[in-house]
Structure 1
Amino acid sequence: MFTKPTEYQAVIGTIDPASQGAGAATTAWVSADDYHAFLALVAVGAFGASATVDAKIQQAKDSSGTGAKDVSGKSITQLAAGGGNNRQALINFLPQDLDVNNGFSFVRLSVTVGTAASLTAGVLLGVGARQGPPSAAASVAQIV
């Protein structure tokens, strides 16, 4: 039986908090075979003037991104500066959401800022490790 959330979920990819200029930032590619489910968290602090933020889950055939493409239905509705600062969006997805029949088994989170730099961050969580306790990304400094 699990007694701590970190015994069944782990931070497996991050887009570190930053003032992100117009363009895309992504996590590293991670294997979808290691977890039963995934949750991506996108956080936006202060938007630049008229800025937009989009986020989506992408899939690939290997850890170098071969054949990269979007996972159908796994993108947020665009966040815009007009909606206010300090907002979050979540994307839930499962390994079976991928194009597994064509060999897609790696995933990443992509966050794209449009128009003006905005404060963003992203976290990709693996939920329900298939083999023993999950392993957190090397960037995780502490688990208490």
Structure 2
Amino acid sequence: MNTNILPSNRAVLAARIDPDAYTTGDESSGWVDMAVFENIQAIVCAGTLGASATLDAKLEQATNKSGGSAKDITGKAITQLTKASGQDDVQAIINCRSDELDTNNGFTHVRLTMTVGTATSDAGAVILGHDARYQPADGGGAVDISEVVA
């Protein structure tokens, strides 16, 4: 391990869904180029869910940064979070390796999509890029970071 590389360069904030009160529907992160990272970790943060609300999240793959031919990545979805189960203020994590993409058909990019059902709910998410192919990684400028303290 190179102690000169900051943890923020080893686990790079590659994409996000800003924390907010979301109405029912889908919210997606930006696309992450898996040519940059060997692995990613999507962290979904549920806040206070609305009455009878549900929160789903999944990873999708595409053939380019514009979302070409987007489709789900098999097995990369959380178990639905629900207000009825008392799942306010919980987190869920989805891990994904670059070799889990449909690379034979040219899929190279990943994004996270959260779906709020039934009622407006607080939620947010980040995608951390791990094991960058070249160090230090910067995430490709997909996220506006106001400050990194070393």
One-letter code aligned to 2:12:
A
What's 2:148 paired with? 143
Given that 1:2 and 1:8 are in contact with CA atoms closer than 8 Å, whether structure 2 keeps it comes out as no
Q: Could you say which residue in structure 2 is the equivalent of 1:130?
A: 133
Identity %: 42
Which ranges in structure 2 are unaligned for 5 or more consecutive residues? none
- 1:79 pairs with 78, 81, 84, which one? 81
- Unaligned segments of structure 1, at least 5 residues: none
RMSD: 1.1
Q: What is the SS of the residue equivalent to 1:6? A: helix
Q: Is the 8 A contact 2:16 2:143 kept in 1?
A: no
| Cα 1:138–1:75 shift into 2, 3 Å | closer
Of 61, 65, 73, which aligns to 1:63?
A: 65
Kept after mapping to 2: 8 A contact 1:32/1:105: yes
- 2:44 aligns with one of 42, 45, 60: 42
Which residue of the partner structure matches residue 103 of structure 1?
Answer: 106
2:54 paired with 1:52: yes
TM-score by length of 1: 0.96
Q: How many residues are paired up?
A: 144
Shift of 1:22: 0.4
Give the counterpart letter for 2:28 in structure 1.
T
2:76 counterpart letter in structure 1: K
